[in-house]
Structure 1
Amino acid sequence: MFNKKKLKNIKLFLVDVDGVLTDGGIYYFDNGIRGRRYHMHDGHFGALQRETGIVSGFCTGESDKNIANRAEKLGLRDYNIFGAEDKLAAAELLLKKNNWQFEQLAYVGDDLSDLPLLRKAGVAFSISNAITAVKQEVDYVSKKKGGEGAVREIIDIFIKGLKK
């Protein structure tokens, strides 16, 4: 389990999308549009902000409209990173813009593109079906898989950890 003291510093909670909020699968429709399946339990970001004051956003290398639509539906408007070739550099810009440090960031990732940011984040999380290299670097690995309620599990543990 992670150090509770590290949780108290967190101001921003960022989550990768493909493989974390989704099961990693992408649907291709006849009209050329791509789609993703999201789990309703993972849309619990509002509770995190209401109960802790921590703001949330997506951090993804993709820039598909359906990801932006999901963020909007969840009320995540101001702290999203879309289309990032370098998630670490993009997160650094977002943190600087808000006068925050990496120690004030919690991040959930699952793959190699997430490793640099996971290593710098104040608190790092992964999902149970993340690649081994990611699971070895994080503070907490969810019991649930990506796209199956893992983010909700992490948010609930996060809130509980701050209330103790």
Structure 2
Amino acid sequence: MLSSTPNLEDNMMTHEKLSDGGDIPMIGLGTAGLQGDKCEQATKWALEIGYRHIDSAWAYRNQPAIATAIKQTGIQREDLFITSKVWRDYLSYEKALRQCNEILDQLQMDYIDLLLTHWPCNANVRSAKGPENVVPLEETLAAFNEIHRVGKVKHIGVSNYS
């Protein structure tokens, strides 16, 4: 633990109740733009000062570094809330299932607390092109519901939807 950094867990890590009775830490570490050693160190520092919610995504390509940082801290999996996202080009039934498994492998975890679709609409995400394949919402929901049913995720939702 960093000796000069206070443990913020008791003061700032409040939780919000979810509709199913679960809860989510109100403050989390967003890892977009963090890569390699910088991601690993930032994640480790955040966990050491009391953060328990880590937000990542398959598209960030940093989940192995997050897994390493978590392992180094020794914090138990059940004490963490991990969010990840399936990229918008992988929202078909089979691709969503496959990408969820990749996420779990990269994070070295058995389940994700919150799995989101990442930019599921025709949004401008630093490019002029839309998703490669437009997938009916029902197909994506069927995949996410199956992922939830088998226990690979606790909660499902959307990110950056407009």
Report the TM-score range of the alignment, normalised by the length of the smaller protein: 0.3 to 0.5
Whose relative contact order is higher, 1 or 2, with alpha carbons under 8 Å and at least 6 apart?
1
Report which of the two has the higher share of strand: 2
Larger Rg: 2
TM-score by length of 2: 0.35
